[in-house]
Amino acid sequence: MQSRLQVVQSSKNSMCALCKGSKMLCGKASCPILLKLYVNLKTKDLMDGLHLDGSSPPGVFIGRIGYPSVSIGPLVPPVHGDTGLLDTPELWLGKSIEDIVRFRFQLVRGKHRIRVDQMEGDRLIEYTRELGLSMDPTETEVEFLKKPSGNLVLDDNSQPFGPSAPLKKLDIGTLKIDHRIDRAYSDTDLKAKDAIIGLFEDGTMVSKIQRAFSVGAFGLKDNRKFVPTRWSITAVDDTISKELVKEVKDYPLINEYRIFESWELDNRFIVLMMPLAWSYELIEAWYPNTVWNPKGNRTMIYGDYEGYNGKSKYASIGGCYYAARLAVNEYLTRERRQARVVILREAHSGYIMPVGVWNVRENVRNALRGESMKFNTLKEAFDYIEGRLDIGVDTWISKSLILKDAKCQRRLADYL
């Protein structure tokens, strides 16, 4: 599976060249090339130079290419004011692909190359870290070594952002740090895991914890380092959800089969909870002309799972696995119940580009905020799913270890 998608590259002989965005020969709902061009024209004049000032949301990006030497720096839009929405994915549910691309492409990335364990002695490092800890939009001024350039950067794990350029100078205005994050940052004897869990329990947004973690704000003093953004997102999702699973296992089982739903960005999510001991599975179906099945003529289905004792290897389907597991266990701890959980995701052709794993986390959260459909038997639950998703239940079962087991495995209760 590809990990990145460049949306503006196409050969002269490709379907895109024949279509030119007018006939939609690719079958997508809108043209990603024209979408990128539209946003570029709207912001090009504001970025065409070596100097940029604006209100960072706040946002930072830590790269991973060349690790342990990586590029760090701020994300700065050429606008001032309340730009918090630009880097707060918890607020993006209900926005269109066009909305997300429009405000994310405004974020210009400044790049400064360092070793990940180089935590001080450089103003660019210090200011980048301060932005990562800030709670509100911060006035930021940058000077580049050359004009920002590049395509809209898309990644299935992290949020998109716009052009980039090497940094020459970075200045930031007065900023305010969330006292909860500042407390964890100041405690150099507090382990990173404990800082993450403590902040989550205090109600800190997951995206803010991820950003602070990426700039090396947590952990024992001698162990702190910058963490690539895409790694920090998954690390925080994984750390929190593992801790919640421990709690969930102590709760009684739910009393019935529950189904929750969320449909956003042409993604359909079904969350099925069963009155059985904890295990978890996420299965994704990618239709032709979607992000990870752009040229196929068949729907591609794949997934990953864990049993009661958890998972020892990184999920084959990437960060979305951990993002969804976090949302599920938030719900179960609120309900003080345990369940076996299977999430079915259909990504349809309107999902034309990756926008980050926040889409999975927030869709599952959205589903679990709503009322559930309740059923007495697994068959009744399957019958309901049959009418809600395009792919038939038998196909989902054939791709799922947990659904197969739930359907076929006889249990002691069946004989009572």
252, part of any domain: no
Q: Are residues 19 and 158 in the same domain?
A: yes
Q: Are residues 131 and 187 in the same domain?
A: no
337: containing domain:
257-415
Q: Are residues 145 and 196 in the same domain?
A: no
Would you say 352 and 359 are in contact if contact means Cβ atoms under 8 Å apart?
Answer: no
Would you say 112 and 72 are in contact if contact means Cβ atoms under 8 Å apart?
Answer: yes
Assign 253 to helix, strand or coil.
Answer: strand
Quote the percentage of the chain above a pLDDT of 70.
87
Percentages helix, strand, coil for the chain, rounded to the nearest 5?
Answer: 35, 25, 40
58, part of any domain: yes
User: What local confidence, expressed as pLDDT, does residue 41 receive?
Assistant: 56
C-alpha separations of 349 from 265, 282, 285, 317 in Å: 10, 20, 11, 19
Averaged pLDDT, 145-157: 78
265, part of any domain: yes
Q: Are residues 306 and 238 in the same domain?
A: no
Residue 161: pLDDT band with limits 50, 70, 90: confident
Q: Are residues 201 and 98 in the same domain?
A: no
Q: Are residues 398 and 313 in the same domain?
A: yes
Q: Are residues 189 and 279 in the same domain?
A: no
Residues in the chain: 416
**Domain termination residue (choose one: 116, 142, 172):** 172
Q: Which of 73-77, 120-124, 238-242, 334-338 has the lowest mean pLDDT?
A: 120-124
110 has pLDDT over 80: yes
Q: Are residues 361 and 382 in the same domain?
A: yes
Query: Residue 260: left (phi > 0), alpha (psi -120 to 50), or beta?
Result: beta
User: What local confidence, expressed as pLDDT, does residue 132 receive?
Assistant: 96
Number of Cβ within a 10 Å radius of residue 201:
11
Q: Are residues 235 and 261 in the same domain?
A: no
**How many domains, the chain?**
3
